[in-house]
Structure 1
Amino acid sequence: MGIYVIRVPDIGEGIAEVELVTWNVQPGDSVAEDQHLADVMTDKATVEVPSPIAGKVIALGGAVGQVMAVGAELVRLEVEGEGNLKENSAPAPASQAVKATVSIAVTAPAPVAPAPKAAPAPVHSSAAAPRAAAALRKEGERPLASPSVRRRALDLGLDLRLVHGSGPAGRIAHHDLDAFAAGGGQAQAAGGAQYVERHGEEQIPVIGLRRKIAQKMQEAKRRIPHFSYVEEVDVTELEALRQRLNQIHGVTRGKLTLLPFLARAMVLALRDFPQINARYDDEAGHVTRYEAVHLGVATQTDAGLMVPVLRHAESLDLWACAAGIARVAEGARTGKAPREELTGSTITLTSLGPLGGIVSTPVINHPEVAIVGVNRMVERPMLRGGQVVARQLMNLSSSFDHRVVDGMDAARFIQAMRALLETPALLFVE
């Protein structure tokens, strides 16, 4: 038997270090050739590290969240034959002590992947203990579930520790909640467990994509003097047009949401405000204005907020734009977006859809100089021609870099978008 050392791969592009974000194996596991061992993250993407050889894991070279140099020892395997390291070599640092945490496994960032074997931190609770027969997890083990599943379980009064997860590594899905509730779980929770005192705490390490998001948001707020501008838009005619186009062309050309109309209005308005379709390099001290509109589409994934890029939005009609937005967003959510679709945006469009609230103050996607957000559409009474009528209204909430964009220009830009959206025929006039 021999020892085979797998090292942190050279990702290329001058990258000297990576962050270890997921372990998919533990000491004692047998692995096959090409088996997925771990995920490491660079500034641009997360890369899966496969095993080039079959063997048994005897040591792990780092802990989740640790930054490791390219070429550092990642995994030691016991293999048939001589391996590539003598048996009396020093063991890998922090080998047996490494404990995996719930983390992200993505390829050019993506949703949460199968979780490893241990939870990030124990939850100690003095709440009433569940029935022993229903205890599916060890004491302190945190169930794996997306934020939406956790929120729904809270609304239903369900204890996720008692729910069997059918997904990878026991991950709980919405249909698992349905099955548990149908089996009496909801009634059990409603019987008083939701009113007991709870004293649980947990510490979750900020690693992987979540760390990158935190760093980028902090950098954007630290380096960019934001100012925000909000304008109300009457989208009654626009919504009528959208519904009519979907009736006529929905089956053959695809359904339209409001986003492609907003993107088209943005493209047309930017022609008169080139200083807004720009990126500011504050270290070099210059602004680059772009004729092309590479539209960032803020997308919520299970792993966190991502901004995939729809390139050359100025060249797309409504249906091509709708298909493009759906494609890049889905690529981000599934982890299949290529690297070129994750960088290079010149302005960003963000929307919380039906959860959009009344007003928001979006954070600029550094090094861009502007971001436009759309809030929830609501029907409200308005005075038109002396008559009170029902109209569909929504707000555009935008933020700008005050170093590059003056307040007057920002207001005029949003007013230009408003004029296009309130008279949607103008969207098709060159």
Structure 2
Amino acid sequence: MTGYLRAIKSALTGSPDTPLVLLCNFEAEAQWARRHVGLPGVGFSASTDMVHRMEELGVLLAGPGDTLVLSHDLDPGFRSYIAELGFEPPEIVVPSDVRPGRSTTDNAIASPGTVDRLTRTGGTLLPMGTSEAEQKLAAETGLPLAVPSAEVFERVNSKIYSRRLVEAAGLRPVPGYCCETADEFLAVLDTYSDGTTLVVKDAYGVSGKGLLVLDSRAKVDGLAKLVRRRATRTGDGRLHVVVEHWLPKRFDLNYQLTVARDGTITYDFVKQALTEGGVHKGHLSPVDLPARQHEELRQAVDAVGTRLFADGFHGVAGVDAILGEDGVLYPVLEINARLNMSTYQGGVTERLVPPGHVCLARHYPLRLAAPITFADVRRVLGPLLADRSVIVTCFGTVNANASGEPPFDGRLYTMLVAPDRTRLAGLDSAATAALKTLED
């Protein structure tokens, strides 16, 4: 077991040896969004098979004695590969009643044998974030939750909550507004002046979904018309969004903190977040920041963790921040009070990233004519896998869309490790070229 996992267990359960039952329910945001009204026409879409298969990322976080619930078993070659990396895979439990489009939590609930098997683990249930489904599974199995209720998760994961926390804590905010009604939103749009770029985000949007960039009067007027029309048609004047000024930036940041059950706050790490059009693409670490800005982040960790704990939250939280072109740090863009992509990379970082090396966590998109196996990935990456300069962290997403008409889109999640950024860029290019051969 990694020291990273032992620290998480200690914080959330009181003991580093507590057996965990992990659910990597990446679709939780969609559940939290259900009672909130987002932008017309760009709301949170239903979770995809790709999102569901990302749950396999949990295999390198969980340790021996833990249980990971998956709707699909691991590829045998990937299971062997994990052992070669020095990780002892957790027990994998696949529900007996798995149906397309249904979450793994709901699959487990619908499988009496699985419920009984999870009950007999005697563990503590750790979802990525709690929704009503995870609460139901906890009740069915009798397993305690390592983290708070769905109500707490829903409340603290709103972008409106994040902005108000920033204001209350006296942290430097990105200029902007919180809106909870269409009238409030339209009043903000009325202040628009040419030359300004605004970003409008659904309170529960994620990874580019529920996000619009308004950089012209025509776009502002068009969105205002849609909002008025929907409010009139439905008689529902609610609209839960934040509006922020677009800031020129050097790069995005993502840092993680852990709030223990007793309120102790730990600053886990900070990474450079790689985004494209608001969509998360990966992480780069370590990040090049001066000491004063690292200190600003530490202060933000204390402020965010203190408020989260006061509002009933304990657990892992990821925070997005930005470093402006002018060198000014905006330490809280939004709070994702749940396990996040970087959380699942912690054990790999501890064991397989040597001191002084740089690491790039990213996924490679693939366009495939037919399903492939992990053996195919091993064949094309060859020495890059053998010397652990490329580490595969999730294989299941490669074939997630294989049931559709070929060709289909897949993703291979990886972490790349090199002595410096120049060699890291070369390694990325080599991996890209090697994986491209799988598409031929």
Q: Identify which of structures 1 and 2 has the higher relative contact order when contacts are C-alpha pairs closer than 8 Å and 6+ apart.
A: 2
- When normalised by structure 2's length, the TM-score is 0.27
**Rg larger in structure:** 1
